[in-house]
Structure 1
Amino acid sequence: MALFSLATGILSVVRLQQLNWDIFSCGWTSAPFFGSLTYHHLVVAFYISKYIEFLDTVFIVLDGKHPIFLHRFHHAGATIALHLLAATRDEGAIIFLGLNGFVHAVMYTYYHFSKSLRWMRPFITSGQILQFLAGFYIYYPFCTTECFWSDPQKRISFVYQYAFVGVVMLFFLKFFVEAYMPKKGKRISEKAA
């Protein structure tokens, strides 16, 4: 899973170089790659990978633990987000693939070595939060681009992405504070992980 996420992240970064960054003149939406079947298949493959990622929930349960709400909400919402990005052929999917692919590559590598790398937990959570902030920043100009915003399906996808990412980011921030900055008592990361 880590290799798939890393490969998708790297491919997304490489493809970002093909963009016409002048999005105010529909540069993103007019870049030939984003209308191609190859791009659509890449987004669909990443969407399918979200279902495969549900296996980490199975592993948590098999390990005798109960997945926390954040975990369940994040997996369900990300799957819906990718479905919308794929179904609407939203060019902004490249942002999700690049950022999420990279963070998940780090996260799944951590899972593999988690017994010896517990000190990395706060950094992985921080990486996820930074991913959300970067996505907000990079994706925002799409709503100011007439050729993107005039498509009602892409507008719905955009609003969902912002709402979902905003809520999940608040949950991650809450988790970070409770898990890694406790005032008193035991860290929840000891119980949740």
Structure 2
Amino acid sequence: MSTFPEYTADEIKQLQSSDNVLSVVLNFVEQGKLTTQMLTKQTKPVKKLLRKFDSLVIDNGILYRKINDIECGECKQLVIPETLRYYVLETLHNLSGHQGTERTLALLHKRCYWSDMVNDVKHWIKTCERCLVAKNPLPKVRPSVGSLIACKPLDILAMDFTVLEKSSDGRKRFSTN
């Protein structure tokens, strides 16, 4: 299995066939037909995946979704069972440098598919502790002004600074603040 070398093809087949949604979809794709009457009797997650019926294929007993990608042409996305989604997100997001939503989706899109992938990725990144710490803006800290009353010589130090400005006639001039 090139998508997930940790899993054998038989393990992927078993995971897909034991998934409540994918097992139903696998049956429809194996039969090769889908009618409106059949579709109305299905659960919402099954209906959502069956909307992609024309692009679903079975290769060596494993369910894939065929797409045309700009970079690689026609490619097959492994349809991920619910039990593997956490593993996929953890592996692709966390081990790929905590990329943002768009980059993580691009990495996923080349390899795999599931119905609510976009929302799952957005939620994963919003709740990723490392991303929250590293990417959120720092709070604005305002130092206290403190006391400006001098108690001894050189207790308060002041400095003038010079700014180079352009005057209305276009000439540069210095101003002191």
TM-score by length of 2: 0.25
TM-score by length of 1: 0.24
Higher normalized contact order (CA 8 Å, seq sep 6+, divided by chain length): 1
**Structure with more of its chain in helix, by fraction:** 1
Larger radius of gyration: 2
**Structure with more of its chain in strand, by fraction:** 2
